[in-house]
Structure 1
C-alpha cells in the first residue's frame, strides 16, 4: 500500500521545478539538435520522432473535430499514415490535414513553455503519457516497436537519470522538435516540385479547398518558423539572462 508520504513525494517530484540549467547546456543542446536536423544520417534516424508527432497531430485533430480514428501506422522509411473516417470535406477534414506538419513544432512549443518553468520531470512524464495514448491506436508492428522503444527510453531517463542528464535530454528533444518541424516542409516542397505528391497533406488540402497546394506549404512553413522563433526564445531564457537581456 502506498503511503501518503510516498504519494506526496511522487507529486512533488513530478510537479516540482528543477534548478535553472547552465547557459552552456542550453547552447550546446541547441547546437546538437541543429546538427541532427542538418545532417543526413542523424536526421534519417531522428526523423522518426517528427513522424510520431506528425501522425499524432492528425489523430488528435481528428478526434477533437468528431472524426472517427481507425488507426495509425508508422513505417521504417519514416513515413506514416493516420486513418480516419467522416466527411471527406469540411472544417474537420481541413483541420485534420492541417495538423500534421504543424504538430511537431507546436509540441516543441509546449515543451519549451514547460522548460521555461524548469518542469523537466513533468515534461518527460507527459511525453510518456502521450506516447502510451498513441500506442493504443497503432496498427503495425514497426509502429508499436518504435513507440515502445521511444517511450521506454524517455521513462528510463525520467526515473533513473541524473538531473543533469534529464535536463540535457529534455532541452535537446524540445530544440529538435522546434527545428525539426521546418525541414519536412522544405522536403515536401522539393518533392512536389520534382514529381508532384497528390497524396501529400498540402495537395489533399488543395483538393477540398479553393486554395492551391503551395499556399498550404507556405502556411506550414510560416507557422513553423514563427513557432521556432517563439519557442527558441523561451528556451534561450538562461542564455539571455546570463547576457543581461530580460526574456519575455
Structure 2
C-alpha cells in the first residue's frame, strides 16, 4: 500500500463513520442475544468471552507490575492466566478481579466509541488488543482462537463496506455487553452446587476476607450496569 492509501486508512481510524439505522442496531443486538442464550451457539461464542476474560487478567497483571508468564485458552471455553509477583496485595486482587469485569467493561468502552461514531477505530483497537494477547498465548488452541477472531476483525475493517463494518462492530459490542452477564450467573450456579472452589471470586475472598458471593455480586452489578448504559448508548446513537 502506498503512502496515500495509508493516509486514507489512518484518516478513517481517526475519523467518524455513520451509524447504521436503528433497526439494524436492534437486529445486531437480537443476533448477539441469540448467541448468548442458545446453548449450541453459546458453546462456540463463549470462546470470545474467554479471550476477553483471560486478556483482562493478563492486561491488569502487566499494568500492576506483575510478570505475565503466559495465557492458555482451552476448547472447553476455560482459560488460565499465569503471572508471578507478590502473592497478595493490590496487584494480585486487581488481577484476580479483572477477568469477569473485562467483557462487560470492554463492551461499555466499545459502546462509547460507537456512540461517538468511531466504528473503524473500534475495529482497529480490537485488532491491536488481540495482537498483544497473541504474543502471550502458550497453547495451540489459544493461538487458533485469537488468530481467527483477529482475522475476522482485520478482514472486515480492510475489505468490507461502511454498512458491513458498522453491523459487525455493533454485533461485537452487543455480544460483549450481553455475554458479560451469563458467565457470572454460571459461576454462582457452580458455586452453589459446590463446584469451582478456586474460582476468581473464591480467590478474591481468600485474598481480601470479603465473602465470595459479594464478589460475584460485584461482577453481576458491573455486567448489568454496563449492559444498561452501553445498550442505551448504542440505541441512542
TM-score, structure 1 normalization: 0.93
2:174 corresponding residue in structure 1: 175
Deviations 1:110-161 (A, max 9, x none): 1101111121111111111110100000000000011111101110011111
1:57 corresponding residue in structure 2: 56
Runs of 4+ in 1 over 6 A off after TM superposition: none
2:95 corresponding residue in structure 1: 96
**In the alignment, structure 1 residue 142 sits paired with structure 2 residue 155:** no
Following superposition, the deviation at residue 52 of structure 1 comes to 0.4
- Give the gaps of 5 or more residues in structure 2: none
Task: Name which of structure 1's ranges 71-80 and 29-38 shifts more when overlaid on structure 2.
Answer: 29-38
Following superposition, the deviation at residue 212 of structure 1 comes to 1.1
Task: Name which of structure 1's ranges 113-122 and 69-78 shifts more when overlaid on structure 2.
Answer: 113-122
Are 2:19 and 2:166, in contact at CA under 8 Å, matched by a contact in 1?
no
Following superposition, the deviation at residue 213 of structure 1 comes to 0.9
Deviations 1:199-223 (A, max 9, x none): 1000101111111111111111111
Aligned residues: 237
2:5 corresponding residue in structure 1: 6
TM-score, structure 2 normalization: 0.97
Deviations 1:169-193 (A, max 9, x none): 1101100000100000000000011
1:244 corresponding residue in structure 2: none
**In 1: Cα distance, 2:6 partner to 2:165 partner:** 22
1:17 corresponding residue in structure 2: 16
Please say which structure displays the higher CA radius of gyration: 1
Following superposition, the deviation at residue 32 of structure 1 comes to 0.9
1:154 corresponding residue in structure 2: 153
**In 2: Cα distance, 1:168 partner to 1:188 partner:** 31
Task: Name which of structure 1's ranges 177-186 and 115-124 shifts more when overlaid on structure 2.
Answer: 115-124
Inter-CA distance 235–17: structure 2 relative to 1 (3 Å threshold) = same
Task: Name which of structure 1's ranges 51-60 and 193-202 shifts more when overlaid on structure 2.
Answer: 193-202
- Give the gaps of 5 or more residues in structure 1: 239-248
Following superposition, the deviation at residue 37 of structure 1 comes to 0.9
1:243 corresponding residue in structure 2: none
**In 2: Cα distance, 1:57 partner to 1:217 partner:** 16
1:79 corresponding residue in structure 2: 78
SS at match of 1:136: helix
SS at match of 1:195: coil
**In 2: Cα distance, 1:6 partner to 1:51 partner:** 35
